[in-house]
A and B are shown apart, each in its own frame.
Chain A
Amino acid sequence: MRVNIEAQPEVASSGAVRSRLGPIGWVDVVLVAVLVGAIGGVVYLAGSATGPAEGVEVSLSPQMLPLYTALSIGRLLAAYVISILFSIAFGYAAASSKRAERILLPTLDVLQSTPITSFLPAVLLGFAAIMPARWAAEAASVVLIVTCQAWNIGFAWYQALTTAPPSLSDAATVFRFNGWLRFKSLQLPFAAVSLIWNSMVSWANGWFFLMVAEMLRLGGRDFRLLGLGSYLQEAANQGNAAALGWGIVTLLVVIVALDQLVWRPLLAWSARFVPQTDEEEPPRAWFHDLLRTSRLIERLTLRVERAVDAFDRLIIGRFPARRVYEAEQRGGARAGLVVAAAVLAGAAWGLVRSGHLLTQVSAAEWWEITVGIGATFVRVVLALLLSLAWTLPVGVAIGTRPRLAARFQPIVQLAASVPATALFPAVLWLIPHTGLGLNIAGVALMVAGTQWYLLFNILAGASSIPAEMHHSTALLGLSRWQRWRYLILPSLLPNLVTGAVVATGGAWNVCVVAEYVQMRGQILEITGAGATIQHAAAVGNYPLLLAATLALVVVVVLVNRTVWGRLYALASDRYRLE
């Protein structure tokens, strides 16, 4: 039996890693300008958000949990639908021409590696400026979730569009498929598996950020949303252990149920879209098997298929394939120009605003930002090292035993999809309420958020070392240390770097949550970039909010593009097992 771990991380994990990082070019300059403009514009808007935000009454009665859970899932679902629509548009746009590709892919890279939580206060206040606080909080949570979900799905879709076998695309052209039939019979099935895997990742990310969004309070203003996140926080706040327990159990049940009832069956179903080789066992799911035995479902499927077929023929009749050369279909170019112009105009306005705001940041505040980023950086590195300390030996031990790996892999995946941010209130409740305590809790939260990515990647890497290599090191009589030095570490390097990039990305995201907390009516704050951002938003210091957010984004993007990008290029070039 072979474990098909390698087949799975088609997951478009991290932007910094994927792209061929060339020298910084004009695209990057424009991108940074647009990003600065966007954040600046939002923060400027935020400045006019003056209305009070009373927040919501969170009931700790377990009977309310089904409602809260439904609200949370509803937000995720709304964001997911938007993400999918965005991804499809993005993929088509990026695959439409070389020029679009040259602009859109780096954009995705940068957006994917930015610490999204850092935007939350700014985005929230921006929305609060133009709509009631409750709606602003809802909108901000959805926007936040979309920004964490859309990139990898978008990239997966783009990749499917560009890597679909040319012969299949030729066949579609020769047999005169129109756009719809091409989408339905060629592109969607080809992308299916990758889309599902990436959707799983996106949902896990979504939970992580949803918890943050549901718990947010800025100073006196309460932007919390009714949902699982606020329930957990309130429970911890009131020291209600029973409620905390209920909340965590509910969350776990929901995540396991989604995994077992939605994702696993989908994966099993999607196995039809990949040509299976004999050695590989297709993924199976009990729920999928169960559904297949149902007569009712079978009839329903038939009905649906008939309706879909009628719809297909309607579309085909209405919009037949055009008789032009495929490479010369130019539909979106003009639309693309319009969008680009709008984005640039918006960015220009934002840039002016941010320029104005940034001049109001004092030297002392810049110093505060610098120290904050430094402190957060130390925490991130510490969390990465701590995670590595246990995941490396454990991952290698499991990964080199195929049977064990096959059994552990779903568990690791499931564990990875439990949002660390949901557990944070519980952690806070347990630790002493001091700066040191918060430091420990912060790093713990970072470890909780990062370790699974690392473990997952190490597992995959370790299990892809061919058995012959282990045999030959054994025959050569290499010592344990020599084996690690000459076989295991070098062959793990690409996976290690991938895991580390995703993990540090997660850790940076945690800082906004972990460095500034409001518990039992008091505010606890430790030095860090996240604390600066939250603190600035809470007291309404908009120039500082903008400066801190921008600085954090720039530092993280730079670290990704220089350190990790280079390491990855090295790792994938030299330490690749073929």
Chain B
Amino acid sequence: MPPLTTLSPPTATAPAPDAVELLRLENVGQYYGAGSRRFSAVERINLQLHEGEFVTLLGPSGCGKSTLLRIVCGLQRPSEGRVLYRQTPLVGINTRATIVFQTFALFPWLSVQGNVEVALKARGVAPTERRERAIDLLDRVGLDGFETAYPRELSAGMRQKVGFARAMAVEPELFCLDEPFSGLDVLSAESLRSELLELWTTGEIPTKAILMVTHNIEEAVLMADRIVVMDKSPGRIVADVRVNLPHPRRRKDAAFLSLVDRVYATLAGQTQPEHVELGTAPGEPGRTRVLPPASTDELNGLVERLAEAERRRADIFQLAQDLNYEADELLPLTEALELLGFATVAQGDIVLTPLGETFADSRIQARKEIFSTRIRRLPLVRWALQMLDRTDQNRLERGVFLAALGLEFPPEEAERQLDLLIDWARYAELLAYDGDLEQLFIEVGEE
């Protein structure tokens, strides 16, 4: 079991003692499947939320942060542990909470006003009152004049405003936001963020607390009072960082930047001993190391990019912006480069190692050889090669690998891991794959 986090205990100042506890998760876990095919989405989650708090759940995709949000709203029952809302165990839908969805979840066949009204209709509100409240709310989010428009006629930013208006219509005590800004363009996201902050900080809405899921570090630091940092496999909380910066916060401030860097380091910079870092092969005890979802093309491109950078080092945020990547989209790539030993990550910077430099300077065949020797270390690759070695014709069905991986991962993850394995090993010319027969085999002439 790897240590939970290498980060020193966060600067968590305990909440004011008089703050009322709204939500408490006790040892919450969510599992799918059963028996040897049991996978955990999140494990042993303990979390408290008090009145007046704006908390973000931050983590890479697959860390179970959205699952947690669904559990809090009562959309799904946790496999284990308890959810207490105002000290009462939660059963079924949380009537005091509402969600704003990443995909807006507007009914495309209802007008803007209809979308807000339907939430009130479900609570039996009469037509006249429904109409008045809907129009008032749409007014407040700046959508007057668009009442009769259909969602498809609106920009993404405006659609999300409808989502906010709809959620506010039912006057929730706990406002849950599932990556509400990640489907928007940069400018709309920015303006919507400040509008939400304004509503929240001025107390114009009867909301007592906000719980927001995000993968955007800056967004979390910009908005939240507390950042709960999560990591994946298994989904768990690794840090709880209090943000004591006054609003409005400025992205260029030194304090802001240093907090961003620290959170980033928590997410990415956990260097661990090699046996932990590499994990174990499928079927062996211990945590099976997954391959980060990065294609060989992307890896080659990133190494070349870094090789051209000054001192062969780059600020990850800057890099993500230059490459038009979300910061969390870059994470699997940096993780892969670290795994291969081509780069190291420290304090928000990524630096090419001498091996990475050699790789960058090499021609294609030499690159493949370097890549090949590096990935042979990986338990997953070693395991696949051994399986093929043991067969007569060094040839095995894709299904065999999938079945074996299926014991370790959920089905989609097993597929993804196998595809990654094939991509990497094909590039390294360690094995070949026949897509028609769906067979993996070791190429003739190889060893």
Contact = CB atoms under 8 A, between A and B. Distances in A.
B320 interface: no
Interface in B71-128: 73-77, 91-93, 95, 97-99, 101-105, 107-110, 118-119, 121-124, 126-127
A168 B124 CA distance: 20
B398 to A, nearest CB: 14
Interface in A309-331: 309, 312-313, 316-317, 320-328
Nearest to B102: A167
A167 B122 contact: no
B105 A168 contact: yes
Contacts of A317: 124
B53 to A, nearest CB: 21
A189 interface: yes
Interface stretch (A208-216, A268-276, A377-385): A268-276
Nearest to A168: B105
Given A273-B109, A326-B75, A167 B103 contact: yes
Nearest to A323: B92
Contacts of B152: 275-276
A370 interface: no
Interface residues of B, number: 36
Interface in A272-288: 272-276
A329 B166 CA distance: 26
A175 B74 CA distance: 12
A165 B103 contact: yes
Contact of A324 (B92, B124, B126): B92
Given A185-B118, A276-B152, A176 B93 contact: yes
A375 to B, nearest CB: 39
A178 interface: yes
Contact of A316 (B70, B95, B122, B170): B122
Contacts of A186: 107
B124 A174 contact: no
A321 B93 contact: yes
Contact of A313 (B75, B103, B121): B121
B200 interface: no
Contacts of B109: 189, 192, 272-273
Given A170-B75, A175-B170, A316 B91 contact: no
A574 B437 CA distance: 12
Nearest to B70: A170
A171 B99 contact: yes
Contact of B91 (A171, A309, A323): A323
B333 to A, nearest CB: 25
A185 B74 CA distance: 21
Contacts of B99: 170-171, 174
Given A168-B105, A189-B109, A178 B122 contact: yes
Interface string B121-160: 1111011000000000000000000000011100000000
Contacts of B123: 176
A177 interface: yes
A173 B93 contact: yes
Nearest to B103: A167
B105 A170 contact: yes
Given A170-B75, A175-B119, A317-B124, 11 more contacts: A165-B103, A167-B101, A167-B104, A171-B99, A175-B118, A177-B118, A189-B107, A272-B150, A316-B121, A325-B74, A326-B75
Interface of B: 70, 73-77, 91-93, 95, 97-99, 101-105, 107-110, 118-119, 121-124, 126-127, 150-152, 166, 170, 436
Interface of A: 165, 167-168, 170-171, 173-178, 181, 185-186, 189, 192, 272-276, 306, 309, 312-313, 316-317, 320-328, 574
18 contacts: A167-B102, A167-B103, A167-B105, A171-B105, A173-B93, A175-B166, A176-B123, A181-B122, A186-B107, A192-B109, A275-B152, A309-B127, A313-B124, A313-B126, A317-B124, A320-B124, A324-B92, A326-B76
